[in-house]
Every structure is written in C-alpha cells, then in structure tokens.
Amino acid sequence: MASEQPSARVDFDQPSIARVFDALMGGQDHYETDRAVVRQILEIAPEAPAMTKEMRQWLVRAVRYLTERLGVDQFLDLGSGFPTVENTHQVAQKYNPEAHVVYVDNDPVVQAHSRALLVDNDFTHISGNDLLRPGETLADDTVKQFIDFDRPVGLVMCAIIHHITDFQQAQQVVKSYVGAMAPGSYLVLLHQHNPDDGSEAAGVAASLQERFGSTGLDTRYRTRAEIASFFDGLELLEPGLTAPHLWWPDGPRLAPLTPVNWTSLCGVARIP
Ligand SMILES: C[S@@+](CC[C@H](N)C(=O)[O-])C[C@H]1O[C@@H](n2cnc3c(N)ncnc32)[C@H](O)[C@@H]1O
C-alpha cells in the first residue's frame, strides 16, 4: 500500500463529513463534534444510520457485480471514506485478490487511518488529492502507478458528488473523470436525492439539506433529472437510476421502508 500527499492539520472542533459518515455507519473513527452533527440528523431522520448502511450495501453489490461478473480488476474510488465496514477493496479483493483499488480522500484522518489499516495490502493505495481537481488527481503518482487507464476501470463516486454545491461544477467534475476512462469502464454513482413531489421524503430531503448546511457540511439533495444528467452519454445498466434498496437487492426486504429510503438515487453505467 502506498500513500502520497502530506496530511493537512486536523481541526477536531470542526465536524468532518468522513467522520460523520463513519459515525452513522457504526464505525469507530469519529469525535464528539461529529457525533453532535449525527444527533442533529437523527432529529430529522431517525433511520439515517440504517440508510447509511443501505448505501454501503448498495456499493458492496455494485462492486461485487463489476468484479465477479464483469471482470473489472481496478477501481478508482473518489471520496472513499474510511476503508472499513466492507469498503471497495474488501469487496473487490474477495472476488479477485489481485484487484487494484486506489482510494482518493483529502481528509487527513482518513488518510492516516488508511495508511495504518492498509499497510499490509499491496493492492490497495490511497491518494490524498482533492477530487475537485481532476487533472491533478488523474496525474497523481499513486493513481498513475496503480491504475492502468488503457484498461477498464470501476470509477466509484459513492455519496460524494452531492457535496459539490455548484451543479455545473459537479457535472464538470464527473465528466472529467468519465472522459479519462477507457471504453468498457463503469461509473458507480450514488447521490442524495430530493423527489420534489410534495412527499414526506421530499420534506425530509429539504430538511436534511438545510441541517447539513447549518453544520458546515454542505450537501445538495438534487432532483432525479439533475442526477440522471451525470450519466449522460453512458449506458445505464438495469435497473437504471433507482433508490439503493431497489438496485438488485439480495433478497426480499426485511426492514420497513421509511421516507429517508427515497432520499438517494444510485446507478451503474458502462462508459462507451
Ligand atoms: C460522505 S463520505 C462517503 C464515503 C464513501 N464514498 C461511502 O460511500 O461510504 C465523503 C468522503 O469524501 C471525502 N471528500 C470530500 N470532499 C473531498 C474532496 N474535495 N477531495 C477528496 N475527498 C473528499 C470526505 O473526506 C469523505 O471521506
């Protein structure tokens, strides 16, 4: 496992989206300032931890499908978070122990923990680049060393693009990475969603967007049309752009659905 980029200083008085996500997922890598944000989220959506796990379970199914069924053996995971709780490398390397995974995350705590956790893993690497700078990220030594851009790549953007508040910039960022991938690569994207239909879910999405914003962790809950635009020109696999629980579930649903289940959309698309 290799690591580039010196870590920035950590401000433990400010919440971090990586640590808040970890707290929602039931992980160990969070501090009181992050848990305070989680408590605020729970006031609006008590089922947010279960939903966060459903998002991860979707990522597991998508990476498993690409590795096991389509033979994808290299993944570039942007805004990857802590490499715990069944993240991309654990899933890909379960089906192909030599699958290469490069994580990109600019959170210094994520980078430090990743280095420690992945020290014995020769096939998983982390870059500390800012994913908002696609040119620099794609030219990063770690990325270039372990991802062969002449062959298909699983390009993972799970729960990250909604943190780019400017829609045009979000579109441009996705387009830049997609444009650098070889034909036969796949985009794996999950984004927060506002159904914008007067439903309870739409109200929850609007409240969550407002609450995240008030904590400094800006998040945009976008419409279906906006999220679909990230897949423009790509070949969406069945079942298309869906809520995570509807994307090839592993079996009959056990837990009841709640409004927050409808506040994410996800899809996997082939890059022609
Ligand atoms: C909500 S978490 C999602 C983690 C993971 N993809 C998942 O689905 O579980 C977003 C992650 O993106 C990282 N991130 C946010 N902005 C970033 C940026 N500009 N460059 C690199 N990483 C970023 C955060 O540090 C955090 O770990």
Q: Is the CB of residue 107 below 6 angstroms from any atom belonging to ligand 1?
A: yes
Q: Are 18 and 105 in contact (CB under 8 A)?
A: yes
* 133 is a domain residue: yes
* 163 is a domain residue: yes
Token output for 166 = 């400017």
Query: Residue 16 CA: which ligand 1 atom is closest?
Result: 25
Confidence (pLDDT) at 202: 98
Q: How much distance in Å is there from the Cα of 217 to the middle of ligand 1?
A: 11
Q: Is the CB of residue 15 below 6 angstroms from any atom belonging to ligand 1?
A: no
Q: How much distance in Å is there from the Cα of 114 to the middle of ligand 1?
A: 13
* 70 is a domain residue: yes
Residue 34 φ then ψ, to 5°: -75, -40
H or E element, residue 269? strand 264-271
> Residue of the nearest CA to atom 8 in ligand 1?
158
* 221 is a domain residue: yes
Find the CATH number of the domain harbouring 234: 3.40.50.150
Pairing of strands 100-104, 235-236: unpaired
Q: Is the CB of residue 110 below 6 angstroms from any atom belonging to ligand 1?
A: yes
* 14 is a domain residue: no
What's the domain count of the chain? Answer: 1
Q: Is the CB of residue 21 below 6 angstroms from any atom belonging to ligand 1?
A: yes
Confidence (pLDDT) at 1: 40
Least Cα distance to 82 among 105, 98, 59 occurs for 105
Confidence (pLDDT) at 2: 38
Q: Is the CB of residue 266 below 6 angstroms from any atom belonging to ligand 1?
A: no
Domain coverage including residue 114: 48-248+257-271
Token output for 163 = 């943190």
Token output for 239 = 């079942």
pTM, full prediction: 0.96
* 152 to 72, 75, 187: CA distances (angstroms): 7, 9, 11
Residues of the chain with pLDDT under 70: 1-9
Q: How much distance in Å is there from the Cα of 73 to the middle of ligand 1?
A: 22
Over residues 56-108, the pLDDT tens digits come to 999 999 999 999 999 999 999 999 999 887 899 999 999 999 999 999 999 99
Q: Which amino acid is at 135?
A: G
* 196 is a domain residue: yes
DSSP label at 66? I
Q: Are 34 and 16 in contact (CB under 8 A)?
A: yes
Least Cα distance to 131 among 75, 170, 74 occurs for 170
* 4 is a domain residue: no
Over residues 167-180, the pLDDT tens digits come to 999 999 999 999 99
Measured CA to CA, the distance from residue 134 to residue 131 in angstroms comes to 6
Q: How much distance in Å is there from the Cα of 45 to the middle of ligand 1?
A: 21
* 54 is a domain residue: yes
Q: How much distance in Å is there from the Cα of 18 to the middle of ligand 1?
A: 6
